[in-house]
């Protein structure tokens, strides 16, 4: 969790630093980055060569899947820690 907090702090610092250096250019470019983020979150983003981001790679399970990587495990663990406990 500490590593994620440091990463978020760095992201915020980078965001505000870039914005402070050239505000007009940053404001013109920022909506397009938000559009891309929204496409990724909604699963509508395409990758290079027009591949679908929600393709077979993310549907496949097992040892060699994208979900078996340490980054995926850490992200899922962090997300689950934020959810309230469900009574059994």
Give the model's pLDDT for residue 54.
Answer: 53
Domain region containing 71: 23-82
User: In this predicted structure, what is the pLDDT of residue 64?
Assistant: 72
Inside any domain, residue 53:
yes
pLDDT attached to residue 45: 63
Asked if the structure places residue 61 within a domain, the reply is yes
Mean pLDDT in each 10-residue stretch from start to end of the chain (88 residues)? 87 89 87 79 63 56 72 77 64
Looking at the structure of the chain, the number of domains it has is: 1
> Which residues are CB-contacts of 65 (< 8 A; sequence separation ≥ 6)?
57
Q: Is residue 71 part of a domain?
A: yes
pLDDT number for residue 86: 58
pLDDT for the residue numbered 70: 81
For CA atoms 27, 30, 31, 32, the dihedral sign is positive
Considering the domain boundaries, does residue 29 fall inside one? yes
On whether residue 51 sits in a domain, the answer given is: yes
């Amino acid at each position: 969790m500490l590593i994620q907090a440091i990463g978020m702090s760095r992201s915020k610092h980078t965001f505000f630093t870039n914005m402070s250096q050239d505000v007009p250019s940053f404001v013109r470019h920022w909506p397009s980055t938000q559009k891309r983020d929204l496409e990724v979150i909604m699963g509508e983003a395409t990758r290079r060569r027009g591949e679908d981001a929600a393709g077979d790679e993310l549907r496949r399970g097992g040892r060699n899947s994208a979900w078996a990587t340490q980054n995926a495990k850490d992200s899922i663990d962090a997300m689950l820690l934020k959810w309230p406990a469900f009574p059994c």
